[in-house]
Amino acid sequence: MDPDLIRIASDRLTATVSPLGAEMQSLRTAGGADLLWHGDPAWWSGRAPILFPIVGKAPGDRIAVGDHEADMRQHGFARRSRFALDAQGADSCRHVLRDSAETRALYPFAFELAVGHALAGDRLSVSVEIANRDPKPMPFGFGFHPAFAWPLPGAGGAPHEIRLDNGAEPPMARLQDGLLPPDRPPSPFAAGRLVLAPEQFEADAMIFPEGAGDGLRYGVPGGPELAFSFENLPNLALWTIPGAPYLCVEPWHGMAAATGASPQIAERPFSLSLAPGDTARFAWHVTAHL
């Protein structure tokens, strides 16, 4: 176990956070039930990675900013970077990643990426602030990638659902070779409701570029559920490996590069740009109803 692992707690939940990627490692009820996926590498070693400065893949795993080009793996470098502990309390902590010679060789900007985790009763909040410390505009994408137990504790074999708060039937996208094609398969939602099944993920993630709204519920109606809300995160993905005991609920602001696109970060779907000195904020919250 990482000796720098930070533990925070409320009267209803406990969480641990690693400085590697500022990634949450566990989220448990007071009774010890695991809500977060435990990262078994036989399926997928991630738990809740932070995606920056890109979400998804780049063409040929190469990104560009103007004339600068560099190799960049899927979802960027933040998830493999060691953050510094900036603040810690009984129920919250904050980690910060600042640019270095290593990051600037890949992504030529001075920046600060701060990740906060906080617990209050049966609610977890994860917030991020990204600041441009550079003298030039900074294009980027950002996303969260948390994975939750499927089935949830106490749910047994009951079918799990995603229910969108806005009751929409958002258009879906499926990646091809890791990139975003122009076609949109029919939405799997009916009046905001999607009954989950492993075979839905045989073609990889279900991605909803627009229209999924800023809140949803995951779990068993009338039984164990997690209620989510999102801030400044217009894109949604649902992902697992068919048969794996987890579901990723991924709110993003930014997506994989479009099929046939250039490697320029600024041209990626839903990319952002921060002016020098500006800051962007993103957050997700989850309340456990068990």
User: What are 192-229's pLDDT values in tens digits?
Assistant: 999 999 999 999 999 999 999 999 999 999 999 999 99
Average pLDDT over residues 65-74: 96
Q: Which of 231, 229, 186, 236 is nearest to 210 (CA)?
A: 236
Q: Enter the pTM of the model.
A: 0.97
- Would the pLDDT of 1 be above 70? no
Q: What is the pLDDT of residue 4?
A: 86
DSSP-assigned letter for residue 77: S
The Cα-based distances of 289 to 38, 58, 62, 87, 286 in angstroms read 20, 38, 42, 29, 10
What value does the mean pLDDT of the chain take? 97
Question: For the stretch 153-188, what's the b/e string if a residue is b when 16 or more beta carbons lie within 10 angstroms of its beta carbon?
Answer: bebeeeebbbbbeeebbbbbbebeeebbeeeeeebb
Q: Which residue has the tokens 């078994």?
A: 40
